[in-house]
Amino acid sequence: MTHPAVHPTLAKALEARGYATLTAVQSAVIEPEAEGRDLVVSARTGSGKTVAFGLAMAGQLIEGERVPWLQQPLGLVIAPTRELALQVGKELEWLYAGAGARIVTCVGGMDPMKERRALHGGAHLVVGTPGRLRDHLERGALDLSELRVVVLDEADEMLDMGFREELEEILDATPDTRRTLLFSATMPRPIQALAKRYQKDSLRIETVAQGEAHADIAYQCVSVNPTDIEHAVVNLLRFHEAETAILFCATREAVRRLHASLTERGFQVVALSGEHSQSERNNALQALRDGRARVCVATDVAARGIDLPSVGLVIHVELPRDIEALQHRSGRTGRAGRKGTAVLIVPFRRRRNVEGLLRQAKVAADWIEPPQPEEIRGRDRARLMEQLTEPVEMDEDDRAFAEQLMATLTPPEIAAALVRALRTDLPAPEDILAAGPRERAQDAGPRAGFEGAGWFRINAGRRHRADPRWLLPLICRYGHVTRQDIGAIRIAASESYFEVSARALPAFRKALSRAVIAPEDEGLMIEGTPGPPVPGTPVQHRPRPHPMTNRPPVKRPGRGPKR
């Protein structure tokens, strides 16, 4: 391929690999304005980031047509997991083969003595995980004094996994003149702080416009009774019949339980969690790659860095704790331009929490009913018909056997036997109870009559022993409203949230503006708020003077809850 900004040696490697054009992120990192500068790159998962930073590093690694020989490494790539590091190493090997680059990988689960011998023999590029790299650095096996460029791949994942100290120790051991390339799917505050500390005059590159990050992922939410969660998982797997599906659970025990249940039902399933050894992880991933398994049950941490392009379905069996977890989980599908589906299984009582989480993540999701057995059987029939009507090439043996079948059985009998044979490996769908009136009320979002209601915050929570029996009359007294005008009440640790019906809002706000706080309620504060906080979002408690009394909250309101 020809591209003016790609080094000729790397261009030959790309052409041999079948590259006709570059992806958006690959083109962006080699633009003239990015040359030689520190970069902070945010790009869609599966968009070719490994080749992107491989191209970006060429100016620091290649002199003339080849990489110069030095005992110490010139480039360093840090990745969060063993699987991702090995994958990055393989990608860089073919990309830099023509330049004569020697690449050494240093990851947990491999022989450290063998890695040290490889480092002592000299390496142009070192690719590794934070823990193993720090170990080699502290033992003197890794010398970063001549380093010209360092890449932090999936930096947000490394910080989520608790590798901050390791990253800081490694970066502190590199020369100040080095170039730093930071690649991260999301840009939370810890990433911004890391970039500010270790980068100079960095260029921010975003190849995905706001609102397009989820374009290749169709989000769905399925509301179910908590007792039907496992049944919903079975029916979703059967309904979609994805080439590869990943199911996310919150704990090792949940992974173990769901893995056993799906195995018993006949699914080809593997498990990934912290209790599995590196050898077990390798076997599980290889089973997914070669098609011996089609379903993976995993925890968030265990699935970090997994790159399986065949993943077409992600199921959040247990809900993600925050926006980053939602994005990282769902990002296992919809990779490299492929379409994917992410399904959140939502217990009836959690619907409003999930709606808030999706709203904060700027994700549009369709709320659907769980697939029922008849729907699944209909999909099965359509798939079987598609499979049977595909053109096939027959050799003489196949033709002879077909003639023998036709002479022995009637066409309807042949068709029935064929359908029965193809269906033997399909686990049976589960019956899921339809939502009753009580569940529908829990799942319906705002209560009837509370559409467009307003939310308010009061500075009293669980630690003050607040409960609805004390809060409700207090709210009604100061807001001049009745109990029927107060909707949901959410009690948090240090504060509580409540909603007021739309018809009562004007009078409630007017009454608050004129209210005089009684001496026994000194320090009480009520103020408007967009709504209760979304689970996983940190809440900053900043006591402020109450607008009605201009007095700061006190430790112990007279009749209020005790602190």
Q: Give the pLDDT score at 445.
A: 54
CA 523, CA 544: separation in Å to the nearest integer? 9
Q: Is 211 within the bounds of a domain?
A: no
- Which pLDDT tens digit goes with each residue over 172-206? 999 999 999 998 877 778 888 888 999 998 999 98
Instruction: Let me know if 368 is exposed, middle or buried by CB neighbors in 10 A (0-12, 13-18, 19+).
Output: exposed
Tokens of 423: 């269906």
Distance between start and end Cα atoms, the chain: 70
Q: Which phi-psi region, left, alpha or beta, contains residue 269 (left: φ > 0; alpha: ψ -120 to 50)?
A: beta
CA 224, CA 15: separation in Å to the nearest integer? 51
Q: Which phi-psi region, left, alpha or beta, contains residue 201 (left: φ > 0; alpha: ψ -120 to 50)?
A: left
Backbone torsions φ then ψ of 75, nearest 5 degrees: -135, 150
Tokens of 11: 């261009």
The CA dihedral of 508, 509, 514, 519, to the nearest 10 degrees, is: 70
Q: Is 441 within the bounds of a domain?
A: no
What is the CATH classification number for the domain harbouring 120? Answer: 3.40.50.300
CA 150, CA 81: separation in Å to the nearest integer? 17
Q: Is 418 within the bounds of a domain?
A: no
Q: Is 135 within the bounds of a domain?
A: yes
Do the strands 454-458 and 496-500 form a parallel or antiparallel pair, or are they unpaired?
antiparallel
Amino acid type, 357: L
Greatest Cα pair distance in the chain? 99
What is the CATH classification number for the domain harbouring 474? Answer: 3.30.70.330
Q: For residues 358 and 234, state if they share a domain.
A: yes
Amino acid type, 162: G
Q: Give the pLDDT score at 210.
A: 46
User: Quick check: helix, strand or coil at residue 221?
Assistant: strand
Q: For residues 48 and 175, state if they share a domain.
A: yes
CA 414, CA 382: separation in Å to the nearest integer? 18
CA 148, CA 145: separation in Å to the nearest integer? 9
The stretches of 121-223 forming alpha helices (DSSP H) are: 130-138, 155-160, 164-172, 189-198
Contact predicate 493/538, CB 8 Å? no
Q: Is 356 within the bounds of a domain?
A: yes
Q: What is the DSSP string of 55-97?
A: HHTHHHH-BTTBPPP-SS-SEEEE-SSHHHHHHHHHHHHHHSG
Q: For residues 326 and 222, state if they share a domain.
A: yes
- Look up the domain containing 514 and give its range: 446-529
CA 127, CA 119: separation in Å to the nearest integer? 11
Q: Give the pLDDT score at 320.
A: 92
Q: Which string of b and e fits 414-450 if b means at least 16 CB within 10 Å?
A: eeeeeeeeeeeebeebbebeebeeebeebbeeeeeeb
Q: For residues 98 and 144, state if they share a domain.
A: yes
Provide the total of helices (H) and of strands (E) in the chain, helices listed first.
21, 18
Q: Indicate the residue among 348, 372, 396 that finishes a domain.
A: 372
Q: For residues 144 and 183, state if they share a domain.
A: yes
Q: Give the pLDDT score at 337.
A: 65
CA 496, CA 532: separation in Å to the nearest integer? 8
Q: Which phi-psi region, left, alpha or beta, contains residue 154 (left: φ > 0; alpha: ψ -120 to 50)?
A: left
Distance (Å) of CA 71 to CA 90, 133, 152, 278, 356: 22, 17, 22, 31, 54
The stretches of 203-315 forming alpha helices (DSSP H) are: 229-240, 252-265, 278-289
The stretches of 291-436 forming alpha helices (DSSP H) are: 323-330, 351-360, 373-388, 396-408, 411-423
| Residues contacting 211, CB < 8 A, separation 6+ | 362
Q: For residues 247 and 336, state if they share a domain.
A: yes
Instruction: Let me know if 490 is exposed, middle or buried by CB neighbors in 10 A (0-12, 13-18, 19+).
Output: middle
Q: For residues 234 and 324, state if they share a domain.
A: yes
User: Quick check: helix, strand or coil at residue 422?
Assistant: helix
Q: For residues 156 and 102, state if they share a domain.
A: yes
Report how far Cα 406 is from the mean position of its chain's Cα atoms. Answer: 53
Q: For residues 277 and 195, state if they share a domain.
A: no
Length of the chain: 563
pTM: 0.63
Q: Give the pLDDT score at 388.
A: 76
Backbone torsions φ then ψ of 265, nearest 5 degrees: -80, -10
Contact predicate 10/55, CB 8 Å? yes
Q: Is 505 within the bounds of a domain?
A: yes
Q: Indicate the residue among 318, 348, 372 that finishes a domain.
A: 372
Report how far Cα 282 is from the mean position of its chain's Cα atoms. Answer: 21
- Which pLDDT tens digit goes with each residue over 14-50? 999 888 888 888 999 999 999 999 999 987 666 788 9
Q: Which portions of the chain are predicted below pLDDT 70?
A: 1-2, 44-46, 208-215, 305, 336-337, 422-425, 433-449, 534-563
Q: Give the pLDDT score at 441.
A: 55
Q: For residues 158 and 261, state if they share a domain.
A: no
Q: Give the pLDDT score at 505.
A: 92
User: Quick check: helix, strand or coil at residue 218?
Assistant: strand
Amino acid type, 261: S
In 3D space, the residue among 173, 158, 221 whose CA is nearest the CA of residue 353 turns out to be: 221
Question: What residues are paired with 126 via a beta bridge?
Answer: 76, 104
Per the structure, how many domains does the chain have? 3
Which residue has 């040359």 as its token pair?
35
Q: Indicate the residue among 156, 187, 206 that finishes a domain.
A: 206
The stretches of 424-483 forming alpha helices (DSSP H) are: 437-443, 468-479
Tokens of 316: 């959040």
Q: Which string of b and e fits 232-245 if b means at least 16 CB within 10 Å?
A: bbbbbbbbbebebb
Contact predicate 297/258, CB 8 Å? yes
Q: For residues 242 and 350, state if they share a domain.
A: yes
Q: Is 436 within the bounds of a domain?
A: no
Q: For residues 28 and 175, state if they share a domain.
A: yes
CA 249, CA 307: separation in Å to the nearest integer? 18
CA 325, CA 303: separation in Å to the nearest integer? 11
Q: Is 434 within the bounds of a domain?
A: no
